[in-house]
Structure 1
Amino acid sequence: MSQGYYIGVDVGTGSARAALLDEDGNILGESTYATTTFRSDKDARIFEQSTTEIWKSITSAVKDVVKQAGLKPENIKGLGFDATCSLAVTDFDGNPMSVTPEPEGKWGQAERNIILWADHRAEKEAEEINATGSMVLNYVGKTMSLEMEIPKVLWLKRHMPEDQFPRCMFFDLPDYLTYRATGSLARSNCSLVCKCSYVPPGVDGSQLGWQPEFFEKIGLIEMVQNDFKQLGGIPGRNGMVLTAGQPVGDGLSEVAAKEMGLLPGTPVGSALIDAYAGWVGTVAAPATNAPEETNTNTKTDLISSRHRLAAIAGTSTCHCVQSPEGILVDGVWGPYKHAVFPGMWMNEGGQSSTGQLIDFIIDTHPAVERAKQMAHDEKKNLFVLLEDILRNMQKEQNLPSLAHLTKDFYIYPDFHGNRSPLADSSMCGMITGQRLDRGVSDLALRYFATLEAIALQTRHIMDEMNAKGHEINSIYMSGGQVKNPTFMQLISDACGVPVQLPFSSSASVVAGSAILGKFAADVARPYDSGAYGKHAPKQGVKITTQDEAEKYSYEYKDHLWELMIRMSKPGKFVFPTEDKRMKALLDAKYKIFREAIVVQRKWRNIVKEAIAS
């Protein structure tokens, strides 16, 4: 049986990338293309992208990795996708439909057809949805985020011309990518339950998955009247919903295969939101410096994954944890049933701005240009320069830790609202302890205080999850922020748990998607994909009905876990610093962090009362 190769595609906030893996998870090729985020001069809440540009970047990246590995199209046995949870809008022929309001845009067919996850135009719509008291809210932490898809769909209905809205299909971006690749309208359970107000049949009395009363109440009655065809349809009636990695349709279409330089019919796995692909690509990984075998961090069965919080840290940060039962955590998204594994539940916390916040804090400081010049002159990365400055300050002041440098300087990090666990988009950032200092050393202090704030908020999210019934005792990181060792140590110290760094900081998420491609190939064509494992399918499966989708999702779920173990390369743990002084200081800062929330809300209410009087 010949070796098979699998491609993962990841669409992040600012790029589209592909990675090519073999059956053991070795990365043989990577390629990334930048993508454009369009902003509005008149409305800072607007963030938009283009499916046309993203798809072009994907096809280029796929061709690149096949060429890098020196392979032929027939060597590629499966393909998987993940993407940000952004709203992609097309007509029923798949042509992009504009989401840009006039006067900057023009409704109808146009390239800017994605409302990015970070877009906050639907604040009013989210508030109205949250006032309904619908059972749907019990499965998004009791609060619908304006970053989710249904508030954005409602916003479009209210702003599009009346004749345009019924022409539109609405996709969470991962599902758009599998549609574009295969022509199949099958949706992923991950996208629907996490972002589209879908409650799987059998959960809390749900019958259709979609909740007609909810859609009628918020003003989207046409969804009910057309059997939700604009959102992919009702499973078993005019739609299909698949769990992670199940083969979509007949695989790559003729058109998509030609664009990618691959073979038509190449299996395509049902997609995941990028954070969940990061979970797939990290939580089953062993560690080269794992503690004793009795520790739950070393166990590799599916149920033990409940102790591992996957943190996918890039522009924003998502925190995903799986559990055998649904756990409601106020202000934390979920619990989501079948989000990755059938029968299992996911909760997702998140910080709307982390990498973006670090960049903002640095870029808006008066000393930033001087610091960049110093970094250039010293041939250093800017972050390395800032940390060198901090280390020198610590040494000069004879302090026990970097955290002591900022003992009287605090940042509250919600500069783009709070996603979790407050679920309050009105929260703002705060800086306390600022002096009349425009120097590079002050920039370094502000940078470190930002890292501290993000780490303390990670603790806040984890604490709220554990208080409601989760048992998290480790964090499995992925994403660009993993490259910052000072930051990773700070998260471990602030949260008091080991932090596992992945084998590849850049490829964990896209490797998760490649695992989905391998799973799709094993289910659809085990004889052709080198399937292995005691839970692997023995013959090819073609999913044509919803009943078959549900049957095979349970039948082969253990095989997906087998693949995660086999194809996830070993990471390395960072352990909390054993220093009582640092722990005491970080505990004190955490108390201040929590008080900052109370103070900000108190101040807002004081002003509100004054204005109203």
Structure 2
Amino acid sequence: MSDSYYLGIDVGTGSARASLVSATGKVVASSTVDTKTWRDPDDHRIFEQSTDNIWASICECVKTCLAQSGIAPEAVKGVGFDATCSLAVCDADGAPVQVTRGAGLGEHGERNIVLWADHRAEREAEVINKSGSVVLEYVGGTMSVRFIPLSSSRNGDPQNPLAQNAHAPPPSSRAANSSTSPDFLTYRATGDTARSCCSLTCKCSYVPHKAGWQDEFFEKVGLGEMVKEGYRAIGAGRVAGAGHGGGGGESAVLSPVLTAGQPVGRGLSKKAGEEFGGLREGTPVGSGVIDAYAGWLGTVAARCVGEEEKEPSLDESRHRLAAVAGTSTCHLVQSPEGVFVPGVWGPYKDPVFRGWWMNEGGQSSTGQLIDFMLTTHPAYAELQSRAKAQGTNIFAVLTSLLESLRVSADVATLTELTLDLHLYPDLHGNRSPIADPRMRGALTGLTLDSSINDLARKYLATLQAIALQTRHIVDTLNEAGHEVREVYVSGGQATNRGLIQLLADACGVPVVLPVDYGGAVVRGAAVLGRFAAEVARAQKEGDGGMGEREQDEMLWRIMVEMTPPGTRVSPAASAKEKKLLEAKYKIFRESIEIQKRWRDEMEEAAK
């Protein structure tokens, strides 16, 4: 397969990216194009995007990759997609339907994606979380405000608590087909309406091992119209008693539910092939996954530098936590059996490997939190000026400043610079393991200091808070039955060695960094493209009857072959620093209880 290449396409929060990757994992070309996001100036909860804008950005990226690499289009043997798990709303022909509130809601319009970060459905989340449905057992007991059922439909019943959802298109609108972003992309690429088990299970209340869709849940929370229409509104229609989702309402439409990377339809459509710069019609397209899961695919099979001869097994994946760190951070760990973890999403059945389960923790704001703490400080302009004068970046300046402060204070560790400074990081609500969107940030230890040295200390406190919250998630996973032995970090935060060392020290386990820290997610998408190509070839050659185990082994082999060795960063805290971090962790946990108590007291006083 030396002349075979695989196209990975990743749609993140603010950009689309494409990479051409060889069968050995070498990235031969990559391109990124920014995408549009609309915010409501009167409502900080609103985040919207456009499928037309995203698709145009993808096409530009793919054409650039082909031009940069000089690779003939016919050498691209498979295509894989990942995207944020956002809600895309279209009409029956795939044309965008506006989700922006106001007179245009439900009509044709560019702004047709409710982005994952959107929190407009807080009230609806409260209603659903009181339903007592079995689906709540598979999201850590509490459904996040970001889950798809919260804003995907309403049935118009004035007696039902979700019927008057002002955020969802009205029943009379043009909206006929809602889907997660990964499924929209495979639909746009192939014309096939197959849906991803990853998307449906992780964000749409689909429970594969319990016959799929749970009619009782959707009827109870006011989405009974979905049941009547065979769940056509969110893309996966069904026939009574047929496979996934069998039982309950009937529908003339049946959209298959595919696990990660399984071939979608007949492959790339002629139109999509042309839009991608001449890719061959019929090129296999793998069923897509949520972007964090692509990051898991692109990292956890890695060997470590110096240990290349040790080939990891699929069984070892259960001890490897992937931390996909960007604007926010997702924490993913796989297990052969379902592990129920309070406040952590899952366990999800079959999101990547058939027969395996996944738990998904997360921090609502990490990279975004660092940016906020820096850019809102009075000394930020001075920090930028120093970086420019020194010909470096702001993080290098901050690292140097902190070391100078440590020497001046005559202390052994940086942690001693923040003995009285403690940040609780949930400025955008808590995703895991508290699962409370109303949690807010807190900063203790303020002084009348607005200097650049104060900025450096607050930057350090921010990194500490992110590391301590990661430990909170890891501790909760392990207490429930997981056994995390290593953390595999990808995304922009992997370049921050101060944060990485803090993660290792706070969690007490090694952290593994990929060679291509920023390309792990799109590499995972390319893995899906290769898997689709190999499965399609096997089916064409008459070996289409592979069982779950054979397909699992094939996918894991591809992951190992396409993931370069990573660098291991081991815990290195001295005894004193361990003691200090332990004390900070205790304060971190106490901050949660204090905030909850204060909130209850204020709500009681406001009655």
Give the whole-Å Cα distance in 2 for the aligned partners of 1:233 and 1:161: 20
From 575, 579, 588, the equivalent of 2:574 is 579
Correspondence 1:188 to 2:196 = yes
What is the alpha-carbon root mean square deviation over aligned residues? 1.7
- Residues 493-572 of structure 1: matches in 2 within 5 Å? 493-525=505-537, 539=541, 553-572=548-567
Q: Distance in 1 between matches of 2:575 and 2:202?
A: 40
Corresponding residue for residue 533 of structure 1: none
Q: Please state if 1:212 is matched with 2:215.
A: yes
What secondary structure does 1:89 align onto?
Answer: strand
How far apart are residue 178 of structure 1 and its match?
0.4
Match of 1:611 in 2: 606
Letter in 1 for 2:373: I
Equivalents in 1 of 2:535, 2:61: separation in Å? 26
1:222-301 correspondence runs (5 A): 222-231=225-234, 232-234=236-238, 236=243, 238-261=254-277, 262-290=279-307, 300-301=312-313
Give 1:124's aligned residue.
123
Counterpart selection for 1:459 from 471, 485, 497:
471
Matched AA of 2:178: F
Q: Provide the rounded CA distance (Å) in 1 between the counterparts of 2:271 and 2:543.
A: 24
- What is the identity, as a one-letter code, of the residue corresponding to 1:525? R
1:258 aligned partner, one-letter code: E
Q: List per-residue Cα deviations over 1:308-327 (Å, max 9, x = no partner).
A: 00000000000000000000
Residue 99 of structure 2 aligns to which amino acid in structure 1? V
Measured after TM superposition, the shift of residue 44 of structure 1 is 0.9
Residues 263-305 of structure 1: CA deviation (Å, up to 9, x unaligned)? 11110001010110011100000001459x9xxxx66111111
Paired residue type of 1:278: G
In structure 2, what is the equivalent of residue 44 of structure 1? 44
Q: Deviations over 1:545-586 (max 9, x none)?
A: xxx7xx655542210000011110000000001411111110
Percent of residue pairs bearing the same amino acid type:
54
TM-score, length-scaled by structure 1: 0.93
Three-state SS of the structure 2 residue aligned to 1:452 is helix
Contact 2:105 2:169 in 1 (8 A): no
182, 185, 196: which one pairs with 1:174? Answer: 182
> In 1, Cα distance between the equivalents of 2:43 and 2:543?
49
SS in 2 for 1:322: strand
2:18 and 2:65 in contact (8 A); partners too = yes
**Shift in Å, 1:425:** 0.3
- Label 1:427 to 1:67 Cα distance change in 2 as closer, same or farther (>3 A): same
Amino acid paired to 2:186: T
Deviation at 1:400, TM superposition (A): 1.2
Deviation per residue, 1:519-569 (Å, 9 max, x gap): 00011125xxxxxxxxxx782667xxxxx7xx6555422100000111100
**Letter in structure 1 aligned against 2:442:** M
Mapped to 1, the partners of 2:125 and 2:311 lie a distance apart of 41
User: Alpha carbons of 1:581 and 1:65: their partners in 2 closer, same or farther (altered >3 Å)?
Assistant: same
- Comparing 191-200 with 553-562, greater Cα deviation is found at 553-562
Equivalent pair of 1:246/1:553 in contact (CA under 8 Å): no
Aligned residue for 1:506, secondary structure, equals helix
Structure-2 separation of matches of 1:299 and 1:604: 51
Q: Secondary structure at the match of 2:286?
A: coil
Contact 1:290 1:573 in 2 (8 A): no
- 1:563 maps to amino acid: I
Q: Which amino acid aligns with 1:172?
A: T
Q: Which runs of 5+ in 1 are unaligned?
A: 527-536, 543-547
Conserved 8 A contact 1:524-1:540: no
Are 1:8 and 1:511, in contact at CA under 8 Å, matched by a contact in 2?
A: yes
Q: Which residue of 1 aligns with 2:89?
A: 89
Of 317, 321, 329 in structure 2, the residue corresponding to residue 309 of structure 1 is 321
Aligned counterparts of 1:499 and 1:386: Cα–Cα separation in 2: 22
1:115 aligns with 2:114: yes
Distance of 1:179 and 1:244 partners within structure 2: 15
- Counterparts in 2 of 1:2 and 1:483: CA distance versus 1, 3 Å: closer
Judge which range, 150-159 or 65-74, deviates more: 150-159
Q: Within 1, Cα distance between the matches of 2:433 and 2:205?
A: 19
8 Å CA contact 2:28, 2:69 repeated in 1: yes
Are positions 1:29 and 2:24 aligned together? no
Choose 422-431 or 159-168, whichever is displaced more.
159-168
Mapped to 2, the partners of 1:584 and 1:443 lie a distance apart of 25
Whether the aligned pair in 1 keeps the contact of 2:46 and 2:118 (CA below 8 Å) is yes
- Structure 2 counterpart of 1:358, one-letter code: I
Question: What is the DSSP-based 3-state SS (H/G/I as helix, E as strand, rest coil) of the residue aligned with 1:525?
Answer: helix
**For the structure 1 residues 245 and 52, does the alpha-carbon distance in structure 2 shift closer, same or farther, using more than 3 Å as the test?**
same
- Counterparts of 2:34 and 2:364 in 1: how far apart (Å)? 21
Q: Distance in 1 between matches of 2:397 and 2:299?
A: 30
| Displacement of 1:107 | 3.4
CA distance in 1, matches of 2:105, 2:88: 17
Is contact 1:23–1:567 with CA below 8 Å preserved after alignment?
Answer: yes
- What is the rounded CA distance, in whole Å, between the counterparts of 2:311 and 2:551 in structure 1? 21
Query: Matched residues in 1 for 2:452 and 2:588: separation?
Result: 25
CA distance in 2, matches of 1:163, 1:31: 40
* Preserved CA contact (<8 Å) 1:90 1:97: yes
| Cα pair 2:374 2:455 within 8 Å, conserved | yes
Counterpart of 1:339 in structure 2: which amino acid? Answer: P
Are 2:106 and 2:173, in contact at CA under 8 Å, matched by a contact in 1? no
Which residue identity is paired with 1:212?
D
2:106 & 2:527 partners in 1: Cα distance? Answer: 39
The answer on whether the counterparts of 2:107 and 2:174 sit within 8 Å (CA) in structure 1 is no
Q: Is the contact made by 1:92 and 1:167 (CA closer than 8 Å) also made in structure 2?
A: yes
Secondary structure (helix, strand or coil) at the match of 2:443 reads strand
SS at match of 1:44: strand
Question: Any idea what SS the aligned residue of 1:29 has?
Answer: strand
Q: CA contact under 8 A between 2:268 and 2:285: conserved in structure 1?
A: yes
